[in-house]
Amino acid sequence: MQHVRANDGLSLPAALDVSAVNHSYGRKQVLSDISFSVAAGRFTVLLGLNGAGKTTLFSLISRLFDTRRGTIRIFGHDVSREPGEALRRLGIVFQARTLDLDLSVHQNLSYHASLHGIGQGEARARIGALLAQIGMSDRLHDKARSLSGGQMRRIEIARALLHRPSLLLLDEATVGLDIRSRAEILATIRKLVATDGIGVFWATHLIDEVEDGDHVVILHQGRVLADGRVDDVVRSCGASSIREAFATLSGVATADGGRR
Ligand SMILES: Nc1ncnc2c1ncn2[C@@H]1O[C@H](COP(=O)(O)OP(=O)(O)OP(=O)(O)O)[C@@H](O)[C@H]1O
């Protein structure tokens, strides 16, 4: 594995630390000895083809699945031993749509706020601020089913931020969206990192969503092939771009079929 990350976490715990994690569905092993960390307050990309194991990894991090081998820590808290402490620091947007289509935007968000024990007045204030941030204040009372795919995604992002997590996980958040919506969502998330200091772990198979200053974890067939700053990973492969580095490491032409 190309492991080029400097020890940039210093004495602070990483936002996410995954150590020697394995996962199998029956006899089929889909994650093999996965280890990497995600620094606080930074945009880190989990890059891998469809089927690489990204969703499985997210299911383990969020504790949808039990981790049987290995450990996962969120800001130093083991998700198996201290799930409450770990998970309250985590916001997650899954690949599959999860809004209740028959409820309004407000109802979808306030239900989530109440699950996190946020009082009604505080929830109203946070919902107002988040909808303003994502440019959707005018849709508060609209039914979720009346929103476009990109708008639904933005509401899901707002919902994931309501309890003010320090680490936000997004699994293929731009899948199925047009180019403009993709760019808007990615820009919204990058801005969150820059202005609010939130750490983001962004899973994608689209190489054009990766920028040179990002950190990247390359996952391929259930194994971590590289982990570090994009420019360091590129250099350590003797490549001229992250696209070429991915091809060199995985033996597959590109993660996204060569799209630019
Ligand atoms: N419930 C399941 N039972 C058996 N195999 C599964 C199950 N879920 C996923 N897999 C297999 O595990 C491997 C990893 O799948 P996973 O969904 O984690 O990958 P991914 O990188 O998220 O891909 P995608 O972006 O297509 O969702 C694949 O080979 C997949 O077929």
Ligand 1 neighbour 25 (Cβ under 6 A) = yes
**Helices marked H in the chain:** 54-61, 83-87, 105-115, 120-133, 149-161, 179-196, 230-236, 242-250
* pLDDT tens string 171-227: 999 988 889 889 999 999 999 999 988 999 999 999 999 998 999 999 999 999 999
Ligand 1 atom nearest residue 48's Cα: 21
Stated pTM of the model = 0.91
Phi, psi torsion values for 228, nearest 5 degrees: 165, -170
Phi, psi torsion values for 50, nearest 5 degrees: -55, 135
What whole-number distance in Å separates Cα of residue 239 and Cα of residue 226?
A: 13
pLDDT value at residue 59: 96
Contact 224, 217 (CB under 8 A): yes
Domain boundaries, the chain: 26-89+165-260, 100-164
pLDDT value at residue 110: 96
Which of 30, 65, 218 should be mutated for ligand 1, with most atoms under 8 A from CB? 30
Both structure tokens of 49: 């083809």
What residues form DSSP beta bridges with 7?
none
pLDDT value at residue 36: 97
Residue bearing tokens 């772990």: 201
Estimate the share of the chain in helix, then strand, then coil, as percent rounded to the nearest 5: 35, 25, 40
The Å distance, Cα 1 to ligand 1 centre, comes to: 22
Nearest residue (CA) to ligand 1, atom 5: 25
Mean residue pLDDT across the chain: 91
* pLDDT tens string 98-125: 999 999 999 999 999 999 999 999 999 9
Mean pLDDT, residues 228-246: 94
pLDDT value at residue 251: 86
ipTM of this predicted complex?
0.96
Nearest to 162 by CA among 117, 103, 198, 112: 112
- Assign domain 100-164 to its CATH architecture: Up-down Bundle (1.20)
pLDDT of residue 3 exceeding 90, the answer is no
pLDDT value at residue 177: 87
26-89+165-260, superfamily in CATH?
P-loop containing nucleotide triphosphate hydrolases (3.40.50.300)
Nearest residue (CA) to ligand 1, atom 2: 25
